[in-house]
Amino acid sequence: MIFAPDFNPVWKGTTAMKKIHTLVIGAGQAGLAMSHCLTDRGIAHVVIERGQIANSWRHERWDSLRLLTPNWQSRLPGHAYTGPDPDGFMSMPEVAGYLDAYARASRAPVEEHTRVLSVTADAAGYRVATDRGDWQCRTLVLATGACNLACVPAVAAGLAQSVTQITALDYRNPDQLPDGGVLVVGASATGVQLAAEIRDAGHEVTLAAGEHIRMPRHYRGRDIQWWMDRAGIHSTTIDEVDDIARARNVPSLQLVGNRDRQFFDLNMLRNRGVEITGRLADIRDNRLFFSGSLANHCTMSDLKMNRLLASLDLWAETQEVCGLAAPERFAPTQFPATPCLFHDLGTGRFRTVIWATGLRPDHSWLHVPVFDRKGRLAHAGGHVAPGLYALGLPFQRRRNSALIDGVGSDAEALADHILETHGQLAA
Partner 1 sequence: MTYETKINPVDNGVNTEALIGARGAFEQMPQAAAFTFRSTCDWISGTRNCNSLNGYFGLGEEQTRKETFAIASDHPEVFAAADTAPTPPEIVLAALASCLTGGLAAVAQHRGIKLHSVRAVVEGDIDVRGILGMDQGIRNGFSAIRVSFDISADASDEDVAALVAQSQKRSAVYDMLTNTTNVAVSVA
Q: Which parts of this chain interact with partner 1 (CB under 8 A)?
A: 278-279, 281-282, 284, 289, 291-293, 296, 299-300, 303, 306-307, 338, 373
Q: Report whether 27 contacts 55 (CB < 8 A).
A: yes
Rank residues 319 and 338 by Cβ distance to partner 1 and give the closer one: 338
The per-residue DSSP string of 9-62 comes to SS--TTT--EEEEEEEE--SHHHHHHHHHHHHTT--EEEE-SSSTTHHHHHSS-
Sheet holding 287-290, edge to edge: 280-284, 287-290, 342-344
- Cα dihedral 187, 193, 198, 203 in deg (nearest 10): 40
Q: Closer CB to partner 1, residue 173 or residue 296?
A: 296
Min CB(16)–partner 1 separation in Å: 46
Q: Which of 77, 93, 97, 92 is nearest to 32 (CA)?
A: 77
Q: How far is the CB of 297 from partner 1 (least distance, A)?
A: 9
129 or 300: CB nearest partner 1: 300
Alpha helices in 135-221 (DSSP H): 189-200
**Alpha carbons 165 and 176: distance in angstroms, whole number:** 12
CB of 329 to partner 1, least distance (A): 10
Asked if 294 and 209 count as a contact pair (C-beta separation under 8 A), the reply is yes
Rounded least distance, CB 282 to partner 1, Å: 4
Residue 220 or 279: the one with the smaller Cβ distance to partner 1 is 279
Distance CA 124, CA 136 (A): 8
| Cβ distance to partner 1 smaller for residue 278 or 392 | 278
Do residues 209 and 297 make contact, with C-beta atoms less than 8 angstroms apart?
Answer: yes
Residue 192 CB, shortest distance to partner 1, in Å, is 21
Q: Which one, 17 or 303, has the nearer CB to partner 1?
A: 303
SS (HEC) of 68-104: CCCHHHCCECCECCCCCCCCCCCEHHHHHHHHHHHHH
Shortest separation between residue 154's beta carbon and partner 1, angstroms: 13
β 350-355/164-167 pair status: parallel
CA gap 123, 126 in Å, rounded: 8
Q: Nearest to residue 222, comparing CAs of 311, 314, 302, 326?
A: 326
Residue closer to partner 1 (CB basis): 87 or 285 = 285
Of the two residues 44 and 238, which places its CB atom closer to partner 1 in the complex? Answer: 238
Select 97 or 332, whichever has its Cβ closest to partner 1.
Answer: 332
* Residue 83: count of CB within 10 angstroms of its CB: 11
Select 284 or 367, whichever has its Cβ closest to partner 1: 284
Closest approach of Cβ 279 to partner 1, in Å? 8
The three-class DSSP label of residue 418 is helix
Report the C-alpha gap between 164 and 146 in whole angstroms.
Answer: 26
The nearest distance, CB 69 to partner 1, in angstroms, is 28
Q: What is the rounded distance in angstroms from the CA atom of residue 402 to the CA atom of residue 395?
A: 7
Min dist CB 310 to partner 1, Å, is: 8
Min separation Cβ 299 and partner 1, Å: 5
- The three-state secondary structure class of 425 is coil
